[in-house]
Structure 1
């Protein structure tokens, strides 16, 4: 989105106003000239201090209250040794406490490391090591889990050492562990609170847009977790660039059920509300009936997230009686009135990744794409340059041709922990995404899947995403996931090593025979799945701690429970 500089209404501070294409949000987006969390907090306090920043279950906090609480906590953390460059891990549920702790860390120049509450003990230990976490904040218990007790099972002595302020060989960087209900505040430190607050103010003034903001972990379905490093400047620019397409502005009441430890909840939710001056609605543990009552009470205006999250709510018996009349058309279609839902593929598929701090490509979510662009991801946002190259040679391909998607620009991550610049970026500074796609002559991006997801069936190429899109377009299909398996008859046409197309479909209205028949009308014969598993419960789809589908577990599920479809 183009940016124009104006002058602030008070105190003479220069600000950057994001000029949306077509009147984004409600009032556009105003950003501080210095793109940092402390500068943004100060701006939000001045412009929207009395506005609700976050509503969590039965609690709410205004921007002024959030600024005050995070500043006081920052003073306590500074008194305990947290400073610029510290890496502070957070294992907590969504809520005001999570937001307060995160902002306290980031406003003094320390680096936030959000950690998934879904991680198992070995995974948590590995991410603490990779990110070189120096301080760790952990919720006492969540969903029946005691994370500190679990951590002790894989690293005996680590918790006791860190809680006493001593180092341990299992995570040499770790200096301190706190439970979230015992975080230090300014009054508990030996140094007077006023002096600590002065130190906080000094640290805030020293934060620069180029300073590291957060380490976010991401992983593909087959890869180990990557620690992606974003700076204050690139993270806030990326959030601001997406707001117009996502239709988030001042006055919106945004609900995103994604956890704050994922990019979608952190950048797409918490920081989006902070940048836009919107109100974020969040729940610690979403549950359909309670969520519907929450959304009705809080008059949600935008529901964003994964399509299956909206589909689960729409399928709940209480949905029909829930008043969601405040929802705007940019919300996920499943929760909108039938007459307001766009046609399949008519709205852009917002496309992004952790490495770009969320979506980097899109189009207004309340407006249909031009008919010849249906199914596309829209156009790249300002701050990200997209290049399509031959994945073997790195040479740019002509418009419309498929290749690897590569990205560069001020919104893209600084790097990946443990990897050199040359391993991550090519000679021209483009990030090698390993995504496959095409950029047409009008600048619209078409995503075609992962380079490493392609497989061969009887010598013909199958891209899972293409088959998934065809299956998801079938009436009554809520979702679909496609992969490959060893062919059931290795002595057949394909011989030893032959593969077959396998699909897990979320539906309560189909059986494999019906799905095969309908898929044949949409797909070439070699792309039609020959092994099916139909699930009525979307929760049975196996996922990694990153939220992505676990392909290995999906294949195991298909092997154990899938059934063969009718012969072609």
Structure 2
């Protein structure tokens, strides 16, 4: 952490006031429609908070927010959190039953929603909800109709509530994206969430004055923690779009003089392939941005940089290495080291016994940067008896403290009696020159379990299957080498579900029809 983040306030209202005092005219957020500085975000969120207070919102109330990225989202979110109410960002991808389940799980008391977005009529969809089955839900307000005018009494109450928010208070409930199981509402406090973000801004190369582009939606931790809250913690400017589209995004990034591009590698690759890319001035981009949009001189050697390692439960990244620096020799392929404030240990997945350095097992996290709990679950169902959080990620910690990820515990596959994790196959394939991304999974081949892999090249049509299989055999044990291959042209061909994660069933079907290795 920088010296400033070490001394920063640990609540949203105090940190927002700090930013407004330190750099009142510094830009906080820019979207396609306009921009707002820190003083403006402080003043407008305070005014909107008073409006909400006047309508019954109080400390500890859970407030759902269903809307696209933008300045209005940020103002509303800050208004909720600054008075000690708990923000519940809701995915704009949710359908009726899914939305009902998350509103119920989080105990949302007040819901703020956009009237429409991307062809969805939320007025009609929310009218169809069974309100009798949502007894906690008292109010529904449309984002466009929210005001910023309130009487002196409401203003005084809102100001008093802001002064009484403490780091231990709940700040937000963030739902996991649910690739394997039903999404879970993860509860984060002000102190833990802000400490977690502050611990990672240095390695992530986000500093005061950085113009950070994050395409991820604010309803996921990738957009909320690593985007909006990161800008608040670091004093950076966040550039965001409601609906990223390559030609429009390139114009936006050029006009706003972006300096750091983070987010989805496939989006960066799509921008680099766009016909407008060569003529777009992105000369302000710095090392630490995603490689496809960087000039060759700033791009990393294949496999030399760490992949940030995080999850919703850790409020973003908990492990990594400076994104503008190569990992030490011998550590390529690792996830770097845990960030300040996060403790890590490895446990036997069957017995729970703590394992020594170098042993593979389930990664467990401790320290003060983690979730407080999960909606609807008792503490014993979330943490180990001694208070650690079992991530479900498999890995090891070497003698130098570097973390190596091998896969998800629920993704473990037995092939020829041996354990294989798709993630380790993907890592090995992505180290092969010419491979941009690889997606591995198990599937049935001639009545036996085998691995399959879909591979995206660095440039369309440049990979030869025979050479790829030969390179894979040089890097992987024979039973780990994929028996079926799908040679894709771009990331757009990777099957994904509604949360943006790879659809395993669709990937297996794609590979079943693929080429033998």
TM-score class, shorter: over 0.9
Deviations for 1:358-380, whole angstroms, at most 9, x for unmatched residues?
01111111111111111111111
2:337 paired with 1:379: yes
3-state SS of paired residue (2:289): coil
2:5 paired with 1:29: yes
2:67 paired with 1:92: yes
2:473 paired with 1:523: no
| Aligned CA distance change for structure 1 residues 62 and 444 (closer, same or farther; 3 Å) | same
Q: Which residue number corresponds to residue 436 of structure 1? A: 394
Equivalent of 1:178 in 137, 141, 144:
141
Deviations for 1:431-485, whole angstroms, at most 9, x for unmatched residues?
0111111111111111111112111222232210111112223333332211111
- Aligned residue pairs, count: 514
Alignment of 1:427-506 (within 5 A): 427-487=385-445, 489-490=446-447, 498-506=448-456
Q: Which residue number corresponds to residue 400 of structure 1? A: 358
Q: TM-score, normalised by structure 2?
A: 0.96
3-state SS of paired residue (2:229): helix
Partners of 1:528 and 1:443 lie apart in 2 by: 29
Partners of 1:355 and 1:293 lie apart in 2 by: 35
3-state SS of paired residue (1:245): coil
3-state SS of paired residue (1:68): helix
Partners of 1:119 and 1:460 lie apart in 2 by: 39
Partners of 1:103 and 1:257 lie apart in 2 by: 20
Asked whether the equivalents of residues 51 and 148 of structure 2 are also in contact (C-alpha less than 8 Å), the reply is: yes
Partners of 1:431 and 1:297 lie apart in 2 by: 43
| Aligned CA distance change for structure 1 residues 93 and 31 (closer, same or farther; 3 Å) | farther
2:506 paired with 1:565: no
Asked whether the equivalents of residues 397 and 403 of structure 2 are also in contact (C-alpha less than 8 Å), the reply is: yes
Partners of 2:210 and 2:189 lie apart in 1 by: 26
Partners of 1:119 and 1:540 lie apart in 2 by: 23
Q: Which residue number corresponds to residue 307 of structure 2? A: 349
Partners of 1:113 and 1:539 lie apart in 2 by: 30
Q: Which residue number corresponds to residue 303 of structure 1? A: 261
Q: Which residue number corresponds to residue 122 of structure 1? A: 97
Indicate the larger mover: 315-324 or 41-50. Answer: 315-324
Alignment of 1:113-512 (within 5 A): 113-153=88-128, 155=129, 158=130, 168-187=131-150, 193-487=151-445, 489-490=446-447, 498-507=448-457, 508-509=460-461, 510=463, 512=465
Partners of 1:511 and 1:152 lie apart in 2 by: 54
Partners of 1:421 and 1:465 lie apart in 2 by: 30
Deviations for 1:4-28, whole angstroms, at most 9, x for unmatched residues?
xxxxxxxxxxxxxx43xxxxxxxx5
3-state SS of paired residue (1:371): coil
Q: Which residue number corresponds to residue 77 of structure 2? A: 102
2:13 paired with 1:38: yes
Deviations for 1:507-531, whole angstroms, at most 9, x for unmatched residues?
4224655543442333222222222
Question: Alpha carbon RMSD of aligned pairs, Å?
Answer: 1.7
3-state SS of paired residue (2:325): coil
Asked whether the equivalents of residues 31 and 40 of structure 1 are also in contact (C-alpha less than 8 Å), the reply is: no
Superposed displacement of residue 255, structure 1: 0.7
Partners of 2:514 and 2:369 lie apart in 1 by: 45
Superposed displacement of residue 306, structure 1: 2.3
| Aligned CA distance change for structure 1 residues 545 and 237 (closer, same or farther; 3 Å) | farther
Superposed displacement of residue 501, structure 1: 1.2
Segments of structure 2 that go 5 or more residues without pairing to the other structure are none
Superposed displacement of residue 151, structure 1: 3.9
Partners of 1:505 and 1:120 lie apart in 2 by: 31
Partners of 2:156 and 2:341 lie apart in 1 by: 35
3-state SS of paired residue (1:536): coil
Indicate the larger mover: 522-531 or 320-329. Answer: 522-531
Partners of 2:431 and 2:248 lie apart in 1 by: 30
| Aligned CA distance change for structure 1 residues 216 and 545 (closer, same or farther; 3 Å) | farther
Asked whether the equivalents of residues 482 and 502 of structure 1 are also in contact (C-alpha less than 8 Å), the reply is: yes
